[in-house]
Amino acid sequence: MGLLGFLCAPLAWALAKGVQHGTLAMLDTHGEKLGIAVLQVGALKTAEYTLLAIAVARLMLMRQSTLLQHFLVGLGVGLVFGAAIVGVNIWHAPGHALPEARLLGLMVNEVIFPIGCVAVLYFIARLNDRAAAGAARA
């Protein structure tokens, strides 16, 4: 899981950025330039989702892990890496300032997404536990 997080997170992020810039080019508008910020955010996302995958894998090995434990892992990872990603975006923004709407959206996304990921994985693990218990009874 950690290896997949290491490989897929920056790839997915770069692909999304590429689609965004392709759309802007088709509309003949100019977006932000791709540069060192892309590499920095990509490295942060790689570390974030690798750490998240390792933490969730350990939680899943514990049969009695709770939704609260998963939530706290997602929240912790989201806050730490979200703050770093927001910081990188602010650092590279013109005048070191982002519009309020973009800043708020970025902060919410960077915290909520890891929580959503671990919640989905928690429910999948519980459904697998129920399926295994049902198969054992049969």
| Helix runs in 27-99, H state only | 36-61, 67-92
More confident position, 44 or 4: 44
Most confident of 12-21, 31-40, 88-97: 88-97
Q: What pLDDT shows up at residue 107?
A: 92
Burial of 69 (0-12, 13-18, 19+ CB in 10 A): middle
Domain of 34?
Answer: 2-137
CA angle 52, 55, 59 (to 5 degrees): 130
Amino acid 88: pLDDT: 93
- pTM to 2 decimal places: 0.71
Distances in whole angstroms, Cα of residue 15 to Cα of each of 7, 69, 118, 119, 120: 13, 31, 23, 25, 23
What's the average model confidence in pLDDT over 130-136? 75
pLDDT at 32: 56
What total number of domains does the chain contain? Answer: 1
**Mean predicted lDDT score pLDDT of the chain:** 84
What confidence tier does 134 reach under pLDDT thresholds 50, 70, 90?
Answer: confident
pLDDT tens-digit profile of 19-63? 777 776 776 666 555 578 888 988 899 899 999 999 999 988 887
Angle at which helices 36-61 and 100-137 pack, to 10 degrees?
A: 30
